[in-house]
Amino acid sequence: MPRRPLARRTFLRGAAQAVIALPLLEAMLDDHGTALAGGAPLPTRFMTWFFGNGVLLPRFEPTAVGPDYPLSEQLAPLADVRDYVTVLTGLQNRCEKIITHHEGMTAFNGYTMVEVDGLFSKAGGPTIDQLVAQTVGDATPIASVHLGISKHVSIMDSGTTMFALSHKGPNEPQYPKFNPQEVWTELFGAFVPRPDDRALRTSILDAVRDDVSRLRARLGKHDNQRLDAHLDGVSALEKKITAATPICTLPDMPSEANVDLKGREPITAVNDVMSDLLVYAFACDITRVASCLFIGGAAETVFSELGQSAGHHFHTHDANAQDLVHDGVVYIMERFAALLKKFKAWEDVDGKNLLDSSIVYCSSDCAEGISHTIARQPIILAGHGRNQLIYPGIHHQVTPFPFSDGNTSDVLLTCLRAFDPTAASIGGGAPMSTTPLREIAGPAFAG
């Protein structure tokens, strides 16, 4: 049957203000399935992911460069997504002011902090996620979403630099939400029917049943199968789904609220729930940009699940506790890997997965916590953003250990040009970059 294009931002609307978001369907694509019906490219997503207090460089950096690099002790948890991971080492963060920890955040925006006074500072300019959101944010209901996992942020620092990973500018921090229920409300609350006092209430699916019938006539066979899976409760559909097809079933509000139990944070549980919510939001094009503050800069997060009783930041400053620091970094990479595995497991409408269509930028507030150094500040890139970045991933070492050179902001500009090929620079002052790192560019990179 001839296919008539369907607008990407189509919703099913029925009585009682019921609204259901649709997944990306083939009817929303062009004839080749490589772009949206109107000619716009398929969605590319971007995320920043932060963990405080750095790593242990000798146990973090791979021992060989290029493709097929060996995963180090601290990168071993990424084995299942190894092909999607590029590791960048030997770079220099060129921040012009040194406070401890604050300067490391330059790796997310390319600007030296402003209004510096002791351990107080504000971000010097917009972060990379907000620059990407300026380019793609208008295409989705929510321009960007900001998640937080560990609530135990620094008790010594002040200002905005250390408490928000995302900033629209020096005085516009985008603070993270630490409660998954609040994140669910922000992302999906608009798609839930408002409660009323009627004794007999119409279900969402009943409310949109007539709309479903009209929509069905506009869809081809495969899209009807996807719609069948998406509206699992709709009866008497013409065909039953015959293969595992990605669906966008509205998730229930999670029971997890990130509440400490006897002083212990449920970090793994919160990370899993937040990751699930973000996967749905990306897959259903509710947003294309996100940030995640896993543990804050200089934060005293206690990894109680590892049997630790003191804060991770405290351990980094104890020369005799570096094995505990190592255990903490491995745990952090396990949680990062859990997110990436969920991305990899979700099949997009074009048959690829969310790592194929996303770029995830991961770094810390220093290279090593014990010295606060921002030389050789490591950066991990996951995903390739529809071939904007190199795939399979590589280990690109700018300068051999223990030296550092180059500019961490070059990586930021590479990521920005994946979304805005016209971007001439990123950042300001000494950390500014006008040169993308072409060694990590993919075949679709036009910057």
Q: Which helix (H) or strand (E) holds 205?
A: helix 204-207
| pLDDT attached to residue 30 | 53
Taking the C-alpha atoms of residue 438 and residue 447, their distance in angstroms, rounded to an integer, is 9
Contact 21, 250 (CB under 8 A): yes
Closest Cα to residue 382, out of 409, 363, 408?
363
Would you say residue 316 has pLDDT above 90? yes
| pLDDT attached to residue 26 | 58
* Prediction pTM value: 0.82
Would you say residue 126 has pLDDT above 90? yes
Helices assigned H by DSSP within 251-403: 267-283, 312-316, 322-345
Confidence of residue 267 (pLDDT cuts 50, 70, 90): very high
| pLDDT attached to residue 326 | 98
Strand extents, DSSP E, 161-312: 166-167, 173-174, 289-295
| pLDDT top residue among 229 and 434 | 434
| pLDDT attached to residue 193 | 43
* Cα dihedral across residues 365, 316, 338, 250: positive or negative: negative
Q: Which of 166-197 are b and which e, b meaning 16 or more Cβ less than 10 Å from the residue's Cβ?
A: bbbebeebbebbbbbbebbebbbeebbbeeee
| pLDDT top residue among 173 and 17 | 173
Contact 440, 88 (CB under 8 A): yes
| pLDDT attached to residue 198 | 33
Would you say residue 125 has pLDDT above 70? yes
Would you say residue 237 has pLDDT above 80? no
Confidence of residue 434 (pLDDT cuts 50, 70, 90): very high
| pLDDT attached to residue 47 | 98
Please give the full DSSP string across 68-114, using - where no structure is assigned: TPPP-TTTGGGGGGGGGEEEEESBB---S---SSGGGGGGGTS---E
Taking the C-alpha atoms of residue 390 and residue 86, their distance in angstroms, rounded to an integer, is 8
Taking the C-alpha atoms of residue 308 and residue 290, their distance in angstroms, rounded to an integer, is 30
| pLDDT attached to residue 324 | 98
Would you say residue 240 has pLDDT above 50? no
For the segment 322-372, what is each residue's pLDDT rounded down to a tens digit?
999 999 999 999 999 999 999 999 988 788 999 999 999 999 999 999 999
Percent of the chain with pLDDT over 90: 74
Burial of 252 (0-12, 13-18, 19+ CB in 10 A): exposed
For the segment 79-117, what is each residue's pLDDT rounded down to a tens digit?
999 999 999 999 999 999 999 999 999 999 999 999 999
Percent of the chain with pLDDT over 70: 82
The residue count for the chain: 447
* Cα dihedral across residues 404, 409, 410, 414: positive or negative: positive
C-alpha 409: how far from chain center:
19
| pLDDT attached to residue 405 | 97
